[in-house]
Each structure stands twice: as structure tokens, then as C-alpha cells.
């Protein structure tokens, strides 16, 4: 089948990899692209571009419950995570993070501390993907801790971290707290007036904005040396050089407005559809199980293991369903998902896991199509695997 034909008939259940752009975000991007103007220029074209950026900053701040001046626009969550960790770590002290973080945090932390291996503690999670405050407290003993970086929701399982006790413990130890909220923002209500993190990363393309733009929240008044990753024109209050991506930022702002407007409605619809998908697959495919099912999870995400059915084989037998084996960011990597391994899955089960992620425009029809195709593909692959298995 031609790629276009597959796309038009397929169920798109890969929102955690990237969500379809919201119509308002497309319009805002088109308008900004059609106008000329560098947000730093003083003439009216420049002022109009700067106006789009200001509006986006306000819209994002409203979604997050912070003030516009606390937002630095970046090229995405990877850059925001890098920026946060680089600024907060001055060498020698300790960074604490978790085994289920996105590589944009884990690899940055490893790179920053590579000369001093004692400087990095990676906390384990339980089989539900959850952290233990006692383990966090124990990691601080006798150490000068600069930063605790823990994600708000996991990209592979949707498991939500109970951050408040972790924040309290980290602050008592004198550490700054960063959270990678990339998968959480725009999916559930978030109020930075209550969630007392110092730094938070996000990315527009996970909530209906474009790829290649995101933001870092930096709480006003925290003690953080400014260590930009790029040098040049001092944009974004000196945190980042490079001409602002006005169309991307304007579009991010429009996506934030739309996400805020429909937040609770979208969350409840996604949860209902996710529960339908899970319920049908678990009952029709005995032996399958949901990772992190006992923990609070994001509305539209489910990570399901189908023992005996490698996910790459299942996914290639159902071209009408767009889902993901493990995390799309690590797709093509030969190693199994570090998140599922950290939760105690065997390598075989981790390799037999599919992440379905639904969102604001998922329909029941797509879910029913995905159920039918997944049941057929998993049954087929399981039969093939047991036929080819040795005695
Ligand atoms: N953190 C998490 C939790 C993610 O899911 C992703 C995207 N897969 C990133 C960071 C990186 O985001 P970006 O694509 O904006 O660099």
C-alpha cells in the first residue's frame, strides 16, 4: 500500500512521540510565517514579531500558572533539560536523578559528571515505576547536592511522579529541583504556584504545537548561575543566543491556549478511550499486562506487554496502527527500554511491549481499529514465535 493511503486509514496512537498540531497552532504558525519581522528589530515589523512572542509567553504562563518573565523559549525539551542541568551543576557536587528519565536528562547528567563518577546518583524505581522518598533522602547523606532532576510523567508508561514530597526533601537538603514535564504539560492541570520546582522543561510538539520549540521555566529569585549553551546575541534574558523562532513560539502559544481551554474535557475523553483500549486488549489477549497499572498515570498513555510477541514484529504486521515500541526517541536502538528494565521487566518482556498514546483528537473508531489490528497481529506473531521455537 502507498504510504499516503496507509496514513489516511491508520489509527494514530503515538501522541507521546509527537501530537498532531492543533488547528489554532497551525493558523498562528501560518500567520507568523506570512509576516516579516525579527523580534529584536525596533521597526514595526519587529515589534509585531515581538508582540507574537509576548502573547505566546503570556499564554504559556497561563497554562503553567507562572509569570511570563519566568519562561525562556528554547528549541525543545532536550535543550531545556541541557540548559537546566548545565546551569545547576558547577562540578564536584551531586546530581540526583532517576533510572526512568528521558535520555535528554540522563545523558546530560552523565556527560556533566563524567570526570567525577561519585557526583551522580540514579535512583531506582519500583515495579510501578515509582520513586521512594526515603531513597532520595538517603542519597543526600553527607553530600553537597546541587540538583535533583525528576520527571513529572514518564514518556513510555505515562506514570506520574508524586513530586511534592521529593521537592520538599530536596529543598531541605539545599538542592535545586528540576522536572522534565514534557509529557505532562497540556494533558493535566499544572500550577507552578503550587508545584514548587525551581526549573521545568517542556516541548510544544507534545501538546499540539510544532516540533523544534519548547521552553524552560526558571523560577524567579532562585540562585542559579547563568550558563548559556550558545553564545552570541543575548536573547531570552541572556540565557540563549540565536534569533527567536517567532513562528514556532507563536504556534506554541496558540497550542497552549487551546490545550488550556479543553484540558479537563480532553483528559477525560483520553482516559475513557485509553481504558477502552486497555480493557479490550487485556481481555482478548490473555497473558498481556499493563506497565505501571497500579500507579497514577497520564490520561492517554498505556504501555502493554504481550509476552512472546516482539513489538517490532507486531508493529510491522499492523501498518494501520501507529504506535511505538518503547520510546520513539530511542527507536532503532538495539538495547531494550531502560525504563521497563528499571521497572523489573525481563529483556524479552521489555522487547514485547508497545506504547499506545492517545490525545485530544483520538476517536473511538481509531481505538477500535487498533484493538482489532493488535489482537490479530499479536496472535499471529505469538503463533509464529512458538512454531519457530526449539523443543
Ligand atoms: N523529555 C521527555 C520526557 C520526552 O518525552 C521528550 C520527547 N520524546 C523529550 C524530553 C525531548 O523533547 P524534544 O523533542 O522537544 O527535544
User: In the chain, what percentage of residues exceed pLDDT 90?
Assistant: 89
Of residues 63, 3, 51, 371, the one with CA closest to residue 208: 63
- pTM for this structure? 0.95
Whether pLDDT at 276 is above 50: yes
Q: Grid cell 518503547 — which residue?
A: 326
Q: What residue owns the CA closest to ligand 1's atom 10?
A: 77
Q: b/e per residue, 355-385, with b = 16+ CB within 10 A? A: bbbbbbebeeebbebbbbbbbebbeebbeee
pLDDT at 328 over 50: no
Q: Which residues 6+ apart lie within 8 Å of 301 measured at CB?
A: 16, 157, 158, 183, 274, 355, 356, 357, 358
Atom index in ligand 1 nearest the CA of residue 154 equals 3
Per-domain residue ranges of the chain: 3-18+263-389, 23-261
Out of 3.40.50.10700, 3.40.50.10800, 3.40.50.970, 3.40.640.10, which CATH number does the structure's domain 23-261 have? 3.40.640.10
In three-state secondary structure terms, 46 is: helix
Q: Which CATH number fits domain 3-18+263-389: 3.20.20.70, 3.90.1150.10, 1.10.600.10, 3.40.228.10?
A: 3.90.1150.10
At residue 90, the pLDDT reads 81
Catalytic residue, candidates 99, 241, 329, 385: 329
Q: How many CB atoms lie within 10 A of CB 231?
A: 9
Cα(77) to centroid(ligand 1), Å: 5
Residue 234: per-residue pLDDT: 83
* 164-195 pLDDT per residue, tens: 999 999 999 999 999 999 999 999 999 999 99
Query: Atom of ligand 1 at shortest distance to CA of 212?
Result: 15
Residue 342 confidence class, pLDDT cut points 50, 70, 90: very high
pLDDT above 90: residue 329: no
pLDDT in tens, 96-141: 999 999 999 999 999 999 878 789 999 999 999 999 999 999 999 8
Q: Which of 73, 97, 157, 183 to mutate to test the pocket of ligand 1 (most atoms within 8 A of CB)?
A: 183
CA atoms of 293 and 66, how far apart (whole Å): 32
> CB within 8 A of 184, min separation 6: which ones?
152, 153, 160, 190, 298
Burial label, 5 (beta-carbon count in 10 A; 0-12, 13-18, 19+): exposed
329 catalytically annotated: yes
Q: Report whether pLDDT(7) > 70.
A: no
Specify the pairing of strand 301-305 against strand 353-357. Answer: antiparallel
Amino acid at each position: 500500500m502507498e504510504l499516503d493511503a496507509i496514513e489516511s486509514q491508520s489509527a494514530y496512537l503515538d501522541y507521546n512521540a509527537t501530537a498532531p498540531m492543533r488547528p489554532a497552532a497551525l493558523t498562528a504558525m501560518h500567520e507568523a510565517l506570512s509576516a516579516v519581522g525579527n523580534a529584536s528589530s525596533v521597526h514595526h515589523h519587529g515589534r509585531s514579531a515581538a508582540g507574537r512572542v509576548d502573547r505566546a509567553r503570556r499564554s504559556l504562563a497561563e497554562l503553567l500558572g507562572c509569570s511570563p518573565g519566568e519562561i525562556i523559549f528554547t528549541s525543545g525539551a532536550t535543550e531545556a533539560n541541557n540548559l537546566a542541568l548545565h546551569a545547576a551543576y558547577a562540578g564536584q557536587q551531586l546530581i540526583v536523578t532517576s533510572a526512568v528519565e528521558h535520555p535528554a536528562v540522563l545523558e546530560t547528567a552523565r556527560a556533566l559528571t563524567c570526570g567525577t563518577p561519585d557526583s551522580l546518583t540514579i535512583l531506582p524505581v519500583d515495579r510501578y515505576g515509582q520513586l521512594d522518598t526515603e531513597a532520595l533522602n538517603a542519597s543526600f547523606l553527607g553530600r553537597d547536592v546541587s540538583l535533583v532532576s525528576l520527571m513529572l510523567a514518564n514518556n513510555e508508561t505515562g506514570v506520574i511522579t508524586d513530586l511534592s514530597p521529593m521537592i520538599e526533601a530536596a529543598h531541605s537538603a539545599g538542592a535545586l529541583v528540576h522536572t522534565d514535564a514534557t509529557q505532562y504539560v497540556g494533558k493535566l492541570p499544572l500550577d507552578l504556584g503550587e508545584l514548587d520546582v525551581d526549573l521545568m522543561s517542556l516541548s510544544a510538539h507534545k501538546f499540539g504545537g510544532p516540533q523544534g520549540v519548547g521552553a524552560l521555566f526558571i523560577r524567579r529569585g532562585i540562585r542559579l548561575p547563568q550558563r548559556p549553551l550558545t553564545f552570541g546575541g543575548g536573547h531570552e534574558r541572556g540565557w540563549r543566543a540565536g534569533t527567536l523562532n517567532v513562528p514556532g513560539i507563536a504556534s506554541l502559544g496558540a497550542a497552549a491556549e487551546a490545550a488550556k481551554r479543553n484540558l479537563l474535557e480532553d483528559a477525560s475523553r483520553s482516559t475513557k478511550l485509553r481504558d477502552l483500549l486497555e480493557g479490550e486488549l487485556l481481555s482478548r489477549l490473555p497473558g498481556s499486562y499493563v506497565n505501571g497499572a497500579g500507579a497514577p498515570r497520564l490520561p492517554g498513555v498505556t504501555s502493554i506487554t504481550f509476552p512472546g510477541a516482539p513489538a517490532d514484529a507486531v508493529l510491522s504486521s499492523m501498518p494501520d496502527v501507529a504506535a511505538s515500541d518503547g520510546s520513539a526517541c530511542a527507536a532503532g536502538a538495539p538495547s531494550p527500554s531502560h525504563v521497563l528494565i528499571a521497572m523489573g521487566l525481563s529483556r524479552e518482556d521489555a522487547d514485547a511491549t508497545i506504547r499506545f498514546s492517545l490525545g485530544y483528537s483520538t476517536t473511538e473508531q481509531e481505538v477500535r481499529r487498533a484493538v482489532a489490528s493488535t489482537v490479530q497481529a499479536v496472535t499471529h506473531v505469538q503463533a509464529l514465535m512458538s512454531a519457530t521455537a526449539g523443543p
